[in-house]
Chains A and B, each alone.
Chain A
């Protein structure tokens, strides 16, 4: 198998895809649906905030390994963060997966999420990686009830 594929489908990604964390509805939380019509990935992100802080974060739905792992790892990374921190991390994640192949991205604060740099080699998969994050942003902003990647 190619190096790029190994970089993309790392063990931690496959683990999250197979056993997504926080894969649940959160009663009473704000929720937004994210949909990628190109591949049929459909997830719903639930976010419960209190005094500018993320108290609870979960998701449901179905998608490919990349979108599922991204959603799962996002819910872990943002637990307890302030909404401003969540926004910053969403920006950093976006830059990480869409940056030029050779760009050096400061991923120190991204933690485990840094593995998603591998997506850069697969431009058609960027939308899979960012679906959960776009959906989260809409939920934080109280935007449309459905977010589409198209």
Chain B
């Protein structure tokens, strides 16, 4: 047997991006008469046919309320709904399905933790520690909590590459800190934070950690047990699933000890005018009729990601990111914002003499969708001293040819402004 043949079996089947693209009907459309080049995946990702079909199938065949009816439809809907919970639990490697609370998305999940867990834990004079690269949704809920309690919000700084300064983190992690809340992957600049080590450091001082995994979930394998995360929030719509649904993972003991977030139906066991007995975890956090259709769609999106394999997706996207970094860096006057050593999926940049907003308009007419603006992370823009950036964010269906189209579009814009 030759050495070559011996090596071969270790190589997985190559990632077939053209086959993947065929799963996404929207990628067949054009924009302004040009083939769509969708590079705004960090804002929201497109949906595979399997997800679209699952939602339609629910409404066509078993639309019904969950956890209530004794009839066949309700039983089927409840089963599919709870299966989605089990899938989400498996997806993040939770110990049990009850550790998954459904919410409208990452934003609501973080608000839930801040309101329910934070209010019990944080008091006057305490501190909540976040990082300099948070999305507004992992800043404002903590700011609101701190305002209410007379606590102080403190911020872990980052260096010029867009990496958190871990020495400063250790210094900031004093006795007053009651909660640490961190982005796993920064939506504006793509930094992958060393959250495992950061959690270990916080736990050594008895501080629980909340992870915003909205941007991490579609790009890298999540493992709450390996990370020992206390809470982890993520959104379906950034993971090729529908909008309006997301999940909060929480350690069971923490969730169990927390008061409900909202009151209403489904979160109770019994109600009298004198007293209400709350339902068990996770239902006590899910008041009202849930978003059944999209939760089922979310489950199918998780199936889709799992079938492709997060490792294969990450490898494909890493290749694109490396290629994109190389191609964009070769454009005169282009500056990448965020050059962390550990990055995922994001190319945030500025071109000399061209405002990102104008660049976005010109790229749009080439059929290329990018985001321009502050990416809901104004403090990050302030840190780099820029009002806005253009951001290309990569997904599992993007190709090297699309990166080339982006580069050609940028060169066109440079010609317009020459």
Q: Which residues of A contact B (CB under 8 A)?
A: 1-2, 4-5, 8-9, 14, 18, 38-42, 62-66, 68, 122, 124-125, 128
Contact = CB atoms under 8 A, between A and B. Distances in A.
A41 B361 CA distance: 15
Given A41-B387, A62-B387, A9 B358 contact: yes
A144 to B, nearest CB: 21
10 contacts: A1-B362, A1-B365, A1-B412, A2-B32, A4-B365, A9-B416, A40-B378, A62-B387, A63-B355, A125-B357
Taking chain B's interface residues, is the majority helix, strand, or loop, or is none over half, making it mixed? mixed
A75 B370 CA distance: 33
A39 B371 CA distance: 10
A65 B387 contact: no
Given A39-B388, A40-B387, A128-B357, 20 more contacts: A1-B362, A1-B412, A1-B416, A2-B365, A5-B365, A5-B416, A9-B417, A18-B353, A38-B373, A39-B357, A39-B373, A39-B387, A40-B381, A41-B357, A41-B387, A65-B358, A66-B357, A68-B355, A122-B361, A124-B361
Interface in B367-418: 372-374, 378, 381, 387-388, 412, 416-417
A14 B357 CA distance: 14
Contacts, number: 54
Contacts of B373: 38-40
Nearest to A122: B361
Interface of B: 32, 353-358, 361-362, 365, 372-374, 378, 381, 387-388, 412, 416-417
B204 to A, nearest CB: 40
Contacts of A41: 357, 387
A39 B372 contact: yes
Contacts of B362: 1, 5, 9
A42 B412 CA distance: 26
A107 B381 CA distance: 39
A46 B356 CA distance: 26
Contacts of A40: 373-374, 378, 381, 387-388
Nearest to A124: B361
Contacts of A62: 387
Contacts of A65: 354-355, 358, 417
Q: Which 3 pairs, one residue from A and one from B, show the smallest C-beta to C-beta distance?
A: A64-B355, A40-B387, A64-B357
A1 B372 CA distance: 20
A97 to B, nearest CB: 15
Contacts of A68: 355
A77 B252 CA distance: 66
A4 B361 CA distance: 11
B35 to A, nearest CB: 15
Contacts of A8: 361
Contacts of B353: 18
Contacts of B387: 39-42, 62
A66 B358 contact: yes
Contacts of A125: 357, 361
Nearest to A4: B365
